[in-house]
Chain A
């Protein structure tokens, strides 16, 4: 075997996908450059452009500050959102044009890679990235902590996510991606039917990112349980923290299943084992059970933090306490528990039998109860409040409308006999986009808009935010209502071609227009970012509390200093900052500062991720010597880091006092 394994010059893409890949790389590069330039100009570093790279390295890439890690997560997730939407555009273009005698714009194999990549990217690299980004930004601030429990592990998690992302994008240029759908069901994903490297790219990009997610989940679980400010008992935690706690419990229980399942599929493919093959005692149905035992909780991993965001947003913009706090906590707990009891509803059609199907159908419908309770509690938070229709609140209202429809179609599909007729059709596709876009994406957009001033010190432009909102809502309706109808017309998902006599083309065109309207919305969001940065002086948040907030993150200045709080706040109830404002004790008169310990920067996370990338790449291409080297590299990095005792530094009380007086004098860095 060659020293480069399966990797030959032919692996370089020459087809239309290569062109698409290059366009994507170009878009990503341009946006990344824009972001870097934006950050540079924002921090007045033009004069030091030469040192820009060094600055990026020391201020951002190697930083262990969860706020900076959070920003990096969101930047990468946004780049991947652009790729995911580009993929969606290609899917729609193909389905609009590939009718009857015409076979559309892209070959079948490419089309199948595109929709597989779309799903994989949107879940693992967009939704998960935005979620961990928001959690990093806000959870430590909301619990009155200066950091996460394991700051280095946090950086390593982020870089593993970045490594997975690099790998999945590399498949555009070197080799190919899976053509099996985003969950790569065997036996299609086994060597017998998918001998190329596509499925291996799928396995290793999400395996590496998934391990990052698992580590992050454990990290925030411990952070929330162990690092809350004195006085903040569990039942005094902000609802966002509660939702993240539940989500991280799910991560800790679900992601190991994913890791093990992917590992078994990888063993099948690389070493000819038979966990999931059709023959030799393998069992593809086992894979389908396992992947959904992870996959269903994954949906709730994503949606719970979005619920948390809405709980904060609705209370703040209604200027009222969150209604039914205890109900909300119990509802979260119920959803968390139930989410592990419903995975079989993803394959009622596999023939498990009436009793089994009915049980899982009922458990699925039961989840609608706590979810409905949450919706009613949000509505009654607005009731007798003073509702301000800022952009985050608009996202909330859009969410209630779309999510209710999605919830309804979800309950319909929980009835097995109905599911038989709509399973694996565009009806199903419409349903889960209803939940993921209307729930998860709208929630994260609300969260990003809401907390943006806390991280950057100025608010985002409201008007452009509203334009983006309307484009997303209208685009969403145009893109997905036709899919419900198409599903009922008998259109299965993932079709690259259909007969003109089916009469589907018109609805596909409408859906395609919807994608364009959503793309316009994203355009407005990018414009919003540019305009807001340029006009930041008019939107400065000089108080640290731009929305008349309720929770601790608003008690510190904006942008939040790297140490979050000069003095660890004491908590006596829910909505502690609101209580402080009500009683007039916002900040004590003569604070007594103490020395604080903060983690030093570390590049080890980057090195580990680089080795993990090499490890994944070598396993994809069967370059065994490189796999051994990369694995040894990861182990060496871990030993080096873990035997290093010099990982923290002291911020002295005097220095802290100086920084604080600077903050209070300037109000904010402008």
Chain B
């Protein structure tokens, strides 16, 4: 490799790394690495554990690659040369066995964590959970609070340290419901009702979005997940219950029409079984 080219390459890398770092440190959140909910926290712990475990293989591979390639370079005639040495049962067994053991460990982790962090599994807590029904529409999120008889668009309020049972469906192409700082995503599908159990551990406003392409307005399918104290949450519920907008079947049908970048709004819920109706709509012949 020629020298000027090498210099250009190095400068480019350093420059890019510098720019990247500057922009990264500019006060922005790395949502997955900064969890604000119990599930997201456990998922992060899992991510860290698995990454460290993988280093058991990755680091030796890197070291072996560089040292072997360098030591046995053709110009190094002092290195041993055995052109016909092509197998060794002991070391081959070793590298079937070591990755196998590692994967065995990972498998145990996978099995346990899949059950512990199953999104369908209700969370244990001494506080009673609240249920929030989620409907993905073209192109906004509708949140229905059946117990509080309210609904909201593109905003989901929830109390901290309280388990939230999201039940999720879609009256639109498939979407994926995701609040990274609270926990992982689950698909929203028409005619189906999926579940996601999350619990915020800190007050704050967190980004929520769809992670699955759903047509023209896909990138606008963002919402705010606002976790607040029980008191503040109750205040919000009370104010929403006084909302002049009423979510009836007719109003829902109007809301479900394709529209983009809808502002946050709240409704009082006129029809308690609205969610079931949305799911069942696709079951009828």
User: Knowing A368-B99, A420-B119, A478-B16 touch, does A492 contact B29 (C-beta < 8 A)?
Assistant: no
* Cα of A376 to Cα of B194 in the assembled complex, Å: 43
- In the complex, are the beta carbons of B213 and A349 less than 8 A apart? no
Binding site for B on A (CB under 8 A): 108-109, 112, 179-181, 185, 187-188, 193, 278-281, 284-285, 318-327, 347, 349-351, 353-355, 357-358, 361-362, 365-366, 368-369, 372-373, 375-377, 379-380, 382-389, 397, 400-401, 404-405, 408, 411-412, 414-425, 463, 466-467, 470, 474, 477-478, 482, 485, 487-490, 492-499, 502-503, 505-507, 509-510, 513-514, 517
Which A residues lie within 8 Å of B100 (CB)? 369
- In the complex, are the beta carbons of A358 and B189 less than 8 A apart? no
User: Knowing A284-B189, A321-B83, A418-B50 touch, does A353 contact B120 (C-beta < 8 A)?
Assistant: yes
- Does B124 count as interface, using CB distance less than 8 angstroms? no
- The distance from the CB of B63 to the nearest CB of chain A, in whole angstroms, is 10
Known: A351-B192, A357-B118, A506-B20. 10 other contacts (CB 8 A): A279-B284, A320-B84, A351-B119, A351-B186, A380-B68, A404-B57, A411-B54, A421-B40, A467-B5, A509-B19
Residue of B whose beta carbon sits closest to that of A192:
B173
- The distance from the CB of A140 to the nearest CB of chain B, in whole angstroms, is 26
* Cα of A347 to Cα of B46 in the assembled complex, Å: 19
User: Knowing A404-B58, A474-B9 touch, does A361 contact B114 (C-beta < 8 A)?
Assistant: yes
Interface residues of B in 114-170 (CB under 8 A from A): 114-121
- In the complex, are the beta carbons of B216 and A108 less than 8 A apart? yes
29 contacts between A and B (CB under 8 A): A185-B173, A188-B214, A188-B215, A325-B87, A349-B176, A351-B119, A351-B192, A358-B111, A358-B114, A365-B107, A369-B99, A369-B100, A373-B92, A376-B61, A386-B72, A411-B106, A412-B51, A412-B54, A416-B113, A418-B47, A474-B12, A478-B12, A489-B31, A490-B29, A490-B180, A490-B181, A498-B219, A506-B24, A507-B23
User: Knowing A279-B282, A358-B110 touch, does A383 contact B72 (C-beta < 8 A)?
Assistant: yes
* Cα of A355 to Cα of B2 in the assembled complex, Å: 55
* Cα of A496 to Cα of B214 in the assembled complex, Å: 12
* Cα of A490 to Cα of B181 in the assembled complex, Å: 9
- Does B228 count as interface, using CB distance less than 8 angstroms? no
Which B residues lie within 8 Å of A357 (CB)? 114, 118
- In the complex, are the beta carbons of B210 and A497 less than 8 A apart? no
- In the complex, are the beta carbons of A385 and B103 less than 8 A apart? no
Which B residues lie within 8 Å of A416 (CB)? 110, 113-114, 117
* Cα of A188 to Cα of B183 in the assembled complex, Å: 26
Which A residues lie within 8 Å of B222 (CB)? 499
Which A residues lie within 8 Å of B119 (CB)? 351, 420
User: Knowing A415-B113, A490-B31, A510-B20 touch, does A421 contact B184 (C-beta < 8 A)?
Assistant: yes
User: Knowing A420-B183, A422-B32 touch, does A510 contact B219 (C-beta < 8 A)?
Assistant: no
- In the complex, are the beta carbons of A482 and B20 less than 8 A apart? yes
* Cα of A639 to Cα of B279 in the assembled complex, Å: 52
Interface residues of B in 59-109 (CB under 8 A from A): 61-62, 64-65, 68-69, 72-74, 79-87, 91-92, 95-96, 99-100, 103, 106-107, 109
- In the complex, are the beta carbons of B91 and A380 less than 8 A apart? yes
- The distance from the CB of A470 to the nearest CB of chain B, in whole angstroms, is 6
- The distance from the CB of A114 to the nearest CB of chain B, in whole angstroms, is 13
Which A residues lie within 8 Å of B215 (CB)? 179, 188, 193
- In the complex, are the beta carbons of B72 and A318 less than 8 A apart? yes
* Cα of A358 to Cα of B113 in the assembled complex, Å: 8
Binding site for A on B (CB under 8 A): 1-2, 5, 9, 12-13, 16, 19-20, 22-24, 26-33, 40, 42-44, 46-47, 50-51, 54, 57-58, 61-62, 64-65, 68-69, 72-74, 79-87, 91-92, 95-96, 99-100, 103, 106-107, 109-111, 113-121, 173-174, 176, 178, 180-181, 183-187, 189-192, 194-195, 207, 209-216, 218-220, 222, 281-282, 284-285
Partner of B43, one of A320, A421, A506: A421
Which A residues lie within 8 Å of B103 (CB)? 365-366, 368-369, 411
Which A residues lie within 8 Å of B121 (CB)? 354
User: Knowing A321-B85, A389-B73 touch, does A489 contact B29 (C-beta < 8 A)?
Assistant: yes
- The distance from the CB of A164 to the nearest CB of chain B, in whole angstroms, is 23
- In the complex, are the beta carbons of B50 and A494 less than 8 A apart? no
- In the complex, are the beta carbons of A517 and B12 less than 8 A apart? yes
User: Knowing A417-B46, A507-B24 touch, does A322 contact B86 (C-beta < 8 A)?
Assistant: yes
By DSSP majority rule, is chain A's interface helix, strand, loop, or mixed?
A: helix
* Cα of A488 to Cα of B118 in the assembled complex, Å: 20
User: Knowing A415-B109, A488-B32, A517-B12 touch, does A384 contact B72 (C-beta < 8 A)?
Assistant: yes
User: Knowing A324-B92, A382-B68, A474-B13 touch, does A408 contact B24 (C-beta < 8 A)?
Assistant: no
Which B residues lie within 8 Å of A417 (CB)? 42-43, 46, 113-114, 116-117, 184
Which A residues lie within 8 Å of B22 (CB)? 506
- In the complex, are the beta carbons of A351 and B107 less than 8 A apart? no
- The distance from the CB of A151 to the nearest CB of chain B, in whole angstroms, is 35
- The distance from the CB of A392 to the nearest CB of chain B, in whole angstroms, is 13
- In the complex, are the beta carbons of B113 and A503 less than 8 A apart? no
Which B residues lie within 8 Å of A355 (CB)? 114-115
- In the complex, are the beta carbons of B195 and A420 less than 8 A apart? no
* Cα of A494 to Cα of B58 in the assembled complex, Å: 30
- In the complex, are the beta carbons of A384 and B187 less than 8 A apart? no
* Cα of A17 to Cα of B236 in the assembled complex, Å: 47
Which B residues lie within 8 Å of A415 (CB)? 46, 50, 106, 109-110, 113-114
User: Knowing A415-B110, A494-B213 touch, does A382 contact B185 (C-beta < 8 A)?
Assistant: no
* Cα of A576 to Cα of B220 in the assembled complex, Å: 62
- In the complex, are the beta carbons of B82 and A384 less than 8 A apart? yes
* Cα of A405 to Cα of B184 in the assembled complex, Å: 23
- The distance from the CB of B225 to the nearest CB of chain A, in whole angstroms, is 12
Partner of A373, one of B5, B26, B95, B220: B95
- In the complex, are the beta carbons of A420 and B189 less than 8 A apart? no
* Cα of A185 to Cα of B54 in the assembled complex, Å: 33
- In the complex, are the beta carbons of B190 and A187 less than 8 A apart? yes
- In the complex, are the beta carbons of B73 and A384 less than 8 A apart? no
Which A residues lie within 8 Å of B54 (CB)? 408, 411-412
Partner of B209, one of A411, A492, A514, A517: A492
* Cα of A185 to Cα of B189 in the assembled complex, Å: 12
- In the complex, are the beta carbons of A478 and B13 less than 8 A apart? yes
Partner of A188, one of B13, B174, B284: B174
Partner of A400, one of B61, B84, B195: B61
* Cα of A417 to Cα of B46 in the assembled complex, Å: 8
User: Knowing A112-B213, A489-B29 touch, does A424 contact B92 (C-beta < 8 A)?
Assistant: no
Residue of A whose beta carbon sits closest to that of B180:
A490
- The distance from the CB of B168 to the nearest CB of chain A, in whole angstroms, is 9
- In the complex, are the beta carbons of A384 and B81 less than 8 A apart? yes
- In the complex, are the beta carbons of B32 and A421 less than 8 A apart? yes
* Cα of A387 to Cα of B74 in the assembled complex, Å: 5
* Cα of A368 to Cα of B54 in the assembled complex, Å: 11
- In the complex, are the beta carbons of B111 and A421 less than 8 A apart? no
- The distance from the CB of B188 to the nearest CB of chain A, in whole angstroms, is 10
